[in-house]
Every structure is written in C-alpha cells, then in structure tokens.
Structure 1
Amino acid sequence: MLLKSNYTAEFCAVCAKICNECAEECEKHAVMHMEHCRICAEACRRCQGTCEFLALAA
C-alpha cells in the first residue's frame, strides 16, 4: 500500500514550530532591552507566519 504524504506541508509545519520557539526565546531577552533580540523575534514571527501559510497551502 502506498501512503500519500505531503513533505512540503510537513516541512513547513516543523519550520513554523521552530520559528515559534526561537521567537519566544528572543522575546524573553527583548524584554531586557536587548534591541537585537526584538528584531530577531520579529523576524522569527514573520518566518513562522509564512511557514504556517505555506503548510496550509501545500
């Protein structure tokens, strides 16, 4: 039996989870007035959103 799998959707879903974890960690440091961490958190949130969109679209 051949199982149908959508590796693109799976990959993008994992990417979104990783980006979320990264953003959460960076947001903790951003509270301590570390500007570069705030910027990183924003980038991770954008990446997370894009990966979630692609996972649903795939």
Structure 2
Amino acid sequence: RAIFFDDSLDVLKSASKFEIRNIVAINKPSSKIDKKVVPGFVNIENFSQALPL
C-alpha cells in the first residue's frame, strides 16, 4: 500500500487517472502561504495529520 501526497490539483488529478487509490492533498504546503482547500480530495495541512506519532 502507498499514499500519494501533493499540493497541486493537476498532479492529484493525474494520480487519480492512473488509478492511485490513496491520494491526499496538502492544503498548506508552506507556512508562508495561506491554507487552500483542494476540492475532490482528502485534505490535510501537514504530514503529522496523516502520520500521528
């Protein structure tokens, strides 16, 4: 199993076309930019939300 993470809607859509099943959008990839919800995908702000320690 694998998870594909990205902040680009175009890249996420491409991953979906190639039948990657676990796709997650990073909606705040940098502390220097505002949070932006990526429609059509599960959204997280940072990796700690996906991989709790």
Length-normalised TM-score, structure 2 = 0.26
| Larger CA Rg, structure 1 vs 2 | 1
Tell me which of the two structures has the higher relative contact order, counting C-alpha pairs closer than 8 angstroms and 6 or more residues apart: 1
With normalisation by structure 1, the TM-score equals 0.25
